[in-house]
Amino acid sequence: MLSQLGHVLVGVCDSVMVGQLGKLPLDAVGMGVSVTTLLLVLGLGISMGSVPRVAAANGRGDDAFLGRLLVGTVWLNTLVGVALVGLSQLLPLLLPLLKQAPEVVALAAPWVRVVGWSLLPLMVFQGFREWAEGLGLTKQAMQLSIAGNLVNALLCYALIFGHFGAPALGLMGAAWATLISRVGMAALMAQYVLRAEQLRRRRPAEAGAWLRPGLAELRGQLALGLPIGVQMMLEVGAFSASFLMIGWIGVTPQAAHQIAINVASVTYMAATGIAAAATIRVGNLRGSGDLAEARKAGFAAYWLAFGFMSAMGLLMLALRHVIPQFYNHDPQVLAQAATLLTIAAAFQVSDGLQVVGLGALRGLEDVKIPSVVALLAYWALALPIGYGLGFGLGLGAPGVWLGLLTGLSVVAVVLLLRFRRQSRPGARLPAVPASAATLAGPEEVLVLGQPAG
């Protein structure tokens, strides 16, 4: 959970500090976060495709396959990172077409260009991180995420306001802080995986293996990761689209939306940590052939998410007038943000259960149907309802958010039912990849505890 929070706390830090400059810079960062997050979550989703495969191989004790997966994961993430950087540099050309306030677009465009470059080191970090977490090694990424966010906060403070002898760059200081901190996180995570003694037998035995990424591994991870990335992009894209719709109303409700979505994203990313644990546990137990225990692990994650998100919803409701004051001091922004946080508190449980459902299903390597569910629920249901309530009935920003509440609730129910079905006794699942080693004879089969025949 702490590792996952690391991704979103960068945006929280940027919004809190830039918000002190006024609601216009806050809007600009909100727009920048909305468009760059689409690329970020696409990359994160693709990187997550390695986790169930690593967990299953670890459950089988297949060290040779784990080495190949490491090479394939790092290569795939690096290539995806390069592609994401290229796409990010095109985003400023699209911003004027989104019908937002021209002054907001002018401030957001350079911020997007700099933050876009940070997607490459972020994907390299993810490549090493997801492989290690597939083995159940989660503390190292947590520690680096905490350290990276502390560095980012200090750099933001220095570069936004001009402290410690640094130039006062305003909101651009937040962009440069993000880039610098992500480069450091990537370097340190790579160093851990490549040098840790406990991982020596699981890494490739020969240095030359790093120059020969297997196409089968790349295709396998992309086949799992791309639907995950598309599903995540569809969900986050719905929230980004809601940001743009609220921008048609005015700068003040858009600033309120940025505050509320920033707060809700913190609890959401914490829930994705539980979902990641579900992917690892379910994938590991499935790889070892124990589907009954995999089912128990999935439902344990559901109960954890239910308890945690219920508590967060109550806390959000109680502090709805307090939290926005950390971001901005405009009375109208604070009042609208409190209203939106009330709706956010209502969809906490749905948000947590739907993301844990996705994590548990990834452990079963079931990723395509959930992506279709997300597409229909967010884009064919949530956004049209939000538009109808917000503009047709004149409810404004709260109407748009009620549409999001509807979409999240539908996804949560459908995915829960699907996990129950897919994990039931006798359910047919995708085949676990064969071992990398070719068995020489029945004696070796017997040693592995399998029937010789």
Give the model confidence (pLDDT) of 251-273 as tens digits. 888 888 888 988 888 898 889 88
C-alpha span between 246 and 301 (Å, rounded): 34
Closest of 371, 383, 388 to residue 407, by C-alpha: 383
User: pLDDT category, 21, cuts 50, 70, 90?
Assistant: confident
CB atoms within 10 A of CB 200: 10
Mean pLDDT score, 385-408: 92
Handedness of CA 221, 79, 111, 242 (dihedral sign): negative
C-alpha span between 311 and 304 (Å, rounded): 11
User: pLDDT category, 344, cuts 50, 70, 90?
Assistant: very high
Looking up tokens 């690391």 gives: 6
Does 437 have pLDDT greater than 50?
no
Does 416 have pLDDT greater than 70?
yes
Closest of 130, 142, 141 to residue 52, by C-alpha: 130
pLDDT, residue 219, reads 80
385: enclosing H helix or E strand: helix 383-387
Which region among 87-101, 148-162, 206-220, 290-304 has the lowest average model confidence (pLDDT)? Answer: 206-220
pLDDT, residue 429, reads 55
Does 188 have pLDDT greater than 80?
yes
User: pLDDT category, 444, cuts 50, 70, 90?
Assistant: very low
Mean pLDDT score, 281-306: 90
Q: What percent of the chain has pLDDT over 70?
A: 92
pLDDT, residue 307, reads 95
The full DSSP string for 17-53 is HHHTT-HHHHHHHHHHHHHHHHHHHHHHHHHHTHHHH
pLDDT, residue 204, reads 77
Go through 403-426 and write b for each residue having 16 or more CB atoms within 10 A of its CB, e for each that does not.
bbbbbbbbbbebbbebbeebbeee
Residue type, 144: L
Mean pLDDT score, 393-413: 92
Does 430 have pLDDT greater than 70?
no
pLDDT, residue 446, reads 33
pLDDT, residue 400, reads 93
pLDDT, residue 451, reads 36
C-alpha span between 293 and 364 (Å, rounded): 12
Q: Which of residues 161 and 265 earns the better pLDDT score?
A: 161
User: pLDDT category, 343, cuts 50, 70, 90?
Assistant: very high
Please state the pTM of the whole predicted model: 0.71
Mean pLDDT score, 323-347: 91
Does 335 have pLDDT greater than 90?
yes
C-alpha span between 292 and 248 (Å, rounded): 50
Q: Which of residues 55 and 8 earns the better pLDDT score?
A: 55
pLDDT, residue 299, reads 95
Which region among 51-60, 261-270, 312-321 has the lowest average model confidence (pLDDT)? Answer: 51-60
- Mean pLDDT score across all residues of the chain: 84
Does 432 have pLDDT greater than 70?
no
Does 11 have pLDDT greater than 60?
yes
Mean pLDDT score, 357-384: 87
Query: For the segment 219-248, what is each residue's pLDDT rounded down to a tens digit?
Result: 877 888 888 888 788 878 888 888 888 888
Does 214 have pLDDT greater than 80?
no
Mean pLDDT score, 40-66: 81
Which region among 52-61, 114-123, 162-171, 337-346 has the lowest average model confidence (pLDDT)? Answer: 52-61
